[in-house]
């Protein structure tokens, strides 16, 4: 730092010490909210990734706690008007991978006082698409095994490539009635123009109560990549018992791209043309001659759901039995009574499988 900057820094430290007991009210740093939009999530990884290696003034008495913190403005400002001090999540005066860890520590924390920044886009709009590797997949009700379907994230086209791509973040909504938590996963694509797995920092988070996945891919070497093609792989696991409990011969599995941001190596956000924000694949039930296990809709009711202490299975027959599984597939409880005591179980999402004369039903149960 230059001498005058050091003098300003130490003067600011003195003022910060005097004001340490006063809550920051003007352009405060909320650790983890790098893009200053009021929430810590995958989109904050993009400006951090672009600016790794930059340095400026450390915060006085810095912490990673989700509270507004006073900070001296750095000399650098991003193209959309955000001072680089917001990218220094841990407040040590350096933008590093450690600042991404603060985003993770404060994930989904909200500050309603921040202002969303916008900017003009310096290039033509390339395309973006989530494309399933298969449009249809067959399902055998006689052998209701889980299905695995893959998809890819594709950016740009050969005649209109994307320039200097440095990172991408997105939210993906999945169907509540078909998908369970921890059944969708992302990975960098192999042989991609964007880079190999070791060159890319990836973070995925699931907001299960809202049936939403959030993921970010960012380079960490300050370089941008120009090209087109598949940059990420997605794997979807469809639970066989859920499909087996549906009456329809064909079941459409839709996802929805809620939000999407791409950033170039200079920190400019890149607008893209999303070719299909609601992609899907179709599950087709094969004809079966098994009359002892016909496909039916869920005929039983789980009351209440969400639940706290007790759950009742309304309509449970005398010869039925049920099993309660957690999201890791572990059998937590097993019985044949129509009442389930869940008071001692950890809060979260569970899978209740019920076998009765009409077939097998699977219900998602939420404990809160």
* In 277-345, beta strands by DSSP E: 280-285, 301-303, 310-314, 321-325, 331-335, 339-341
Q: Is the peptide bond before 304 cis (omega within 30 degrees of 0)?
A: yes
**What local confidence, expressed as pLDDT, does residue 366 receive?**
84
pLDDT one-digit tens code per residue, 282-339:
999 887 654 444 444 556 888 888 888 999 988 888 888 888 888 766 788 988 888 9
Sort 322 into a burial class: Cβ within 10 Å, 0-12 / 13-18 / 19+: buried
Is 110 inside any structural domain? Answer: no
Q: Which of 43, 72, 105 is the last residue of a domain?
A: 105
**What local confidence, expressed as pLDDT, does residue 316 receive?**
85
Is 179 inside any structural domain? Answer: yes
pLDDT one-digit tens code per residue, 238-295:
887 778 767 788 999 999 999 999 999 999 999 999 999 999 999 998 876 544 444 4
Mean of pLDDT values over 105-126: 64
Q: Are residues 185 and 281 in the same domain?
A: yes
Domain extent, residue 22, equals 3-105
Is 122 inside any structural domain? Answer: no
Q: Are residues 141 and 165 in the same domain?
A: yes
Q: Which of 256, 285, 314 is the last residue of a domain?
A: 285
**What local confidence, expressed as pLDDT, does residue 210 receive?**
86
Q: Look up the pTM and report it.
A: 0.74
Is 28 inside any structural domain? Answer: yes
Q: Are residues 271 and 334 in the same domain?
A: no
Q: Find the angle CA(152)-CA(154)-CA(160) to the nearest 5 degrees.
A: 165
Is 292 inside any structural domain? Answer: no
**What local confidence, expressed as pLDDT, does residue 354 receive?**
86
**What local confidence, expressed as pLDDT, does residue 347 receive?**
86
Asked if 215 and 170 count as a contact pair (C-beta separation under 8 A), the reply is: yes
Q: Are residues 152 and 85 in the same domain?
A: no
Is 58 inside any structural domain? Answer: yes
Q: Which of 74, 105, 136 is the last residue of a domain?
A: 105
Nearest to 34 by CA among 124, 122, 128, 98: 98
Total number of domains in the chain: 3
pLDDT above 60 for 118? no
Is 114 inside any structural domain? Answer: no
Q: Are residues 185 and 100 in the same domain?
A: no
Q: Are residues 32 and 71 in the same domain?
A: yes
pLDDT above 50 for 21? no
CB-based contacts of 111: which residues, under 8 Å, 6+ apart? 30, 33, 38, 39, 66, 68
**What local confidence, expressed as pLDDT, does residue 73 receive?**
95
CATH of the domain at 309: 2.60.40.10
Q: Are residues 229 and 346 in the same domain?
A: no
Is 353 inside any structural domain? Answer: yes
Q: Which of the four pLDDT bands, split at 50, 70 and 90, describes residue 19?
A: very low
Least confident of 19-28, 109-118, 300-309, 314-323: 109-118
Q: Are residues 228 and 133 in the same domain?
A: yes
pLDDT one-digit tens code per residue, 119-152:
444 456 899 999 999 999 999 877 767 899 999 9
Q: Are residues 221 and 272 in the same domain?
A: yes
Q: Are residues 16 and 40 in the same domain?
A: yes
Least confident of 47-61, 258-272, 350-364: 350-364
**What local confidence, expressed as pLDDT, does residue 149 receive?**
96
Q: Higher confidence at residue 197 or residue 19? A: 197
Q: Are residues 35 and 149 in the same domain?
A: no
Q: Are residues 358 and 266 in the same domain?
A: no
What rounded mean pLDDT belongs to the chain? 85
> Distance (Å, rounded) from C-alpha 314 to C-alpha 291?
25
Cα 171 versus chain centre, distance: 6
């Amino acid at each position: 730092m230059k001498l005058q900057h050091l003098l300003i820094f130490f003067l600011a430290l003195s003022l910060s010490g005097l004001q340490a007991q006063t809550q920051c009210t003007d352009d405060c740093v909320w650790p983890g909210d790098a893009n200053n939009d009021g929430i810590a999530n995958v989109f904050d990884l993009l400006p951090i990734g672009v600016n790794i290696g930059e340095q400026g003034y450390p915060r006085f008495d810095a912490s990673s706690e989700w509270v507004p913190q006073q900070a001296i403005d750095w000399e650098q400002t991003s193209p959309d008007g955000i001072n680089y001090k917001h990218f220094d999540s841990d407040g040590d005066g350096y933008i590093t991978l450690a600042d991404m860890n603060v985003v993770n520590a404060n994930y989904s924390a909200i500050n309603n006082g921040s202002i969303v920044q916008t900017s003009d886009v310096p290039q033509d709009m390339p395309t973006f698409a989530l494309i399933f590797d298969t449009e249809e997949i067959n399902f055998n009700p006689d052998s209701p095994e889980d299905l695995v379907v893959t998809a890819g994230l594709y950016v740009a086209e050969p005649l209109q490539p994307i320039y200097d791509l440095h990172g991408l973040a997105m939210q993906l909504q999945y169907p509540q009635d078909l998908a369970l938590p921890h059944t969708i996963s992302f990975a960098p694509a192999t042989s991609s123009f964007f880079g190999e797995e070791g060159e890319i920092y990836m973070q995925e988070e699931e907001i299960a109560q809202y049936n939403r996945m959030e993921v970010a891919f960012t380079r960490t070497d300050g370089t941008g990549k120009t090209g087109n093609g598949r940059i990420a792989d997605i794997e979807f696991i469809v639970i066989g018992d859920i499909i087996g409990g549906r009456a329809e011969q064909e079941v459409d599995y839709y996802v929805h791209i809620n939000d999407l941001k791409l950033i170039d190596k200079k920190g400019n956000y890149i607008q893209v043309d999303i070719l299909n924000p609601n992609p899907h694949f179709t599950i087709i039930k094969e004809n079966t001659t098994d009359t002892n296990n016909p496909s039916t809709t869920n005929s039983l009711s789980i009351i209440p759901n969400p639940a706290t202490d007790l759950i009742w299975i309304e309509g449970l027959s005398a010869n039925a039995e049920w099993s309660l599984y957690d999201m890791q597939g572990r059998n937590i409880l097993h019985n044949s009574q129509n009442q389930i005591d869940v008071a001692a179980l950890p809060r979260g999402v569970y899978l209740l499988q019920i076998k009765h004369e009409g077939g097998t039903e699977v219900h998602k149960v939420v404990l809160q």
